[in-house]
Structure formats: structure tokens, C-alpha cells
Amino acid sequence: MNNLKSVYVIAEIGINHNGDMQLAKELIDKSHVAGANAVKFQKRDIGLVYTKQELDKYRESPWGTTNRQQKEGLEFSIQQYVELESYTNSLGLDFIVSCWDVASVDLIEEHLNIRYHKVASALTTDRKFLEKLNSTGRPVILSTGMCTEKQIAAAVEILDNVKIVLACTSTYPTTAHEINLKHICTLKTNYPDVEIGFSNHYNGADACVGATALGAACVEFHITNDRTAYGSDQAASIQNASEVIDAIRKMELMLGDGVKKVYDSEKPIAKKLRK
């Protein structure tokens, strides 16, 4: 089954915008030019996601010297998300959000019309959150980083509307020996009724292209203008998005249909060389 027909490419902007609307739009533009199908952002209520003790910890950032100031600096208001969704849709791209708490789900549902809810790997084991997504009736993309097979199965069982399950390793960036692309094949066997894809945190094109070769219906990667910029996700992001998506599309073409045939271009060579 492949309802998506061709690989659905999600360019995750996430928090790589660093709280800058102009940069966020530049990354949306870059995703569009590169040929992505969708962009993805993140939304969180920092007072619900983090403890006061964690927020009050010392942390130097462009916004101050505490975790709270850093987290607040990275968050867009819901009005800004409305503007970003409109801008994204005007370019023909889907707009996707990973909410990190139930209050953010309510906020997104009240103001936006997103294509999918995305379950971040950190929330795959949060029953209350998953049940909240059920109440929205929207399709869900489930990421599986940090999860055992048992935890993945439990999440799929809880969720009513899983459309895509993503193989994933939650290290930033992921080293080559921890990517485990063959987990895509395991997920295909375990969940034949949903699309299986790959969420990339490797800093090159290899993993995305390899996932395509293994039949991933969806490939997600973090996108950036500068891998050396401030931010926890930048080093695990893709800077040359156009090259990566071109390579994904070329791999799709190279895979063919699996039916052996003699191409017209081969016939004169066969006539010349065969006895």
C-alpha cells in the first residue's frame, strides 16, 4: 500500500527559526524551492512542558541567562502561527505542527487548520496526550525515537487515526551506526495498514536517500540555513535541502517497478554484441 504515491517530504523548521519570523519565512521559502511537500513547526506551553526548577536554571542564550528566557525566545504566538500557516499554504505546502502539551493542541485546533498532528518521539508514551489528539479527529504522524517495539505498539493501539509511522533515532545529530534504516522494514511488517517513513537527524543526504530505497513513504528532515547557527537542532539539520530532495526524487525514479524489461536503448547494443 502506498497512498502517498511518491515520497512525502517534510522539511522540519522546528525551532531553527530562533524566534525570528523573517527567518521562519525564509526557511519556508527554502523548503518550497527545494521541492518539499510540507513544513513542520513545534508548539509548546513552556509552563506545562518544563518545571519551574528547570526553567530557572542558568543558561546563556541570545535572549538571556535562564532556560525560561531561552524557551520563551524560541516560541511564536498563535497569531504568528496563523500568519505562518497562511504563508505556507499560499506556496502550496502543507502546514504541520508537533504540539508538546494538550493546551497547545487546543490552541492549534482553535486557530489553525493543519494537515497533520505530529507526535514527537518524546510524547509517544504519553497516553493523555495521544488521547487528546484522538479528540481532534485529524490524521496523525507518529515518531518512534527512544521507543521500544512494545511502546510503539501501545501508541498505535491508543491512537485512532495514525496515517504515518516514522522510524527514528532521537540523537542530534545521529551517527551512522545508530540510524538503523532497516527498522523501516520492521515497521512495514508490523503495521501493514499504515504508511511507514523515516525521520532523519543525520546531517547528510545518505540516510534520507537510503530510506527512500527501502520504501519509505515519508521522509522528514530538519532544515536550516546554517548548521553552525545557534540552536540545539542546527547540527542535525540539512543545509542543502534542494540537493537532498533531488536525490530522493532520483532514487524514486531509479527504483522502477521491479518488472524486468528490455529497454529500447538496450536493443541496438544487444544486436551489436550478442551472437
Q: CATH code at 69?
A: 3.20.20.70
2: in domain: no
Q: What is the pLDDT of residue 2?
A: 45
In a domain, 137, yes or no: yes
Give the per-residue pLDDT at 4.
56
DSSP string, 34-86: HT-SEEEEEE--HHHHS-HHHHTSEEEETTEEEHHHHHHHHPPPHHHHHHHHH
**Comparing C-alpha atoms, which of 11, 8, 6 is closest to residue 29?**
11
Kindly state whether residue 167 falls inside one of the protein's structural domains: yes
pTM: 0.94
* pLDDT 10s digits, 50-60: 999 999 999 99
d(CA 128, CA 133) in angstroms, rounded, equals: 9
Is 170 inside any structural domain? yes
Number of domains, the chain: 1
Q: Is residue 57 part of a domain?
A: yes
Residue 168 β-bridge partners = 199
Whether the CA torsion 131, 167, 42, 32 is positive or negative: it is negative
C-alpha 151/C-alpha 168 separation (Å) is: 14
pLDDT for the residue numbered 1: 38
Q: Is residue 3 part of a domain?
A: no
Determine the structural domain holding residue 173 and report its residue range.
8-273
**DSSP, res 239:** S
**Tens digits of pLDDT across the chain (275 residues):** 345 569 999 999 999 999 999 999 999 999 999 999 999 999 999 999 999 999 999 999 999 999 999 999 999 999 999 999 999 999 999 999 999 999 999 999 999 999 999 999 999 999 999 999 999 999 999 999 999 999 999 999 999 999 999 999 999 999 999 999 999 999 999 999 999 999 999 988 999 999 999 999 999 999 999 999 998 899 999 999 999 999 999 999 999 999 999 999 999 999 999 98
- Can you tell me the distance from the alpha carbon of 17 to that of 12, in angstroms, rounded to the nearest whole number? 10
In a domain, 123, yes or no: yes
Is 238:244 a contact under the CB 8 Å cutoff? yes
Report how far residue 202's alpha carbon sits from residue 169's, in angstroms, rounded to the nearest whole number: 9
Q: How far apart are CA 215 and CA 65, in angstroms?
A: 45
The confidence score (pLDDT) of residue 267 equals: 95
Assigned domain for 62 exists: yes
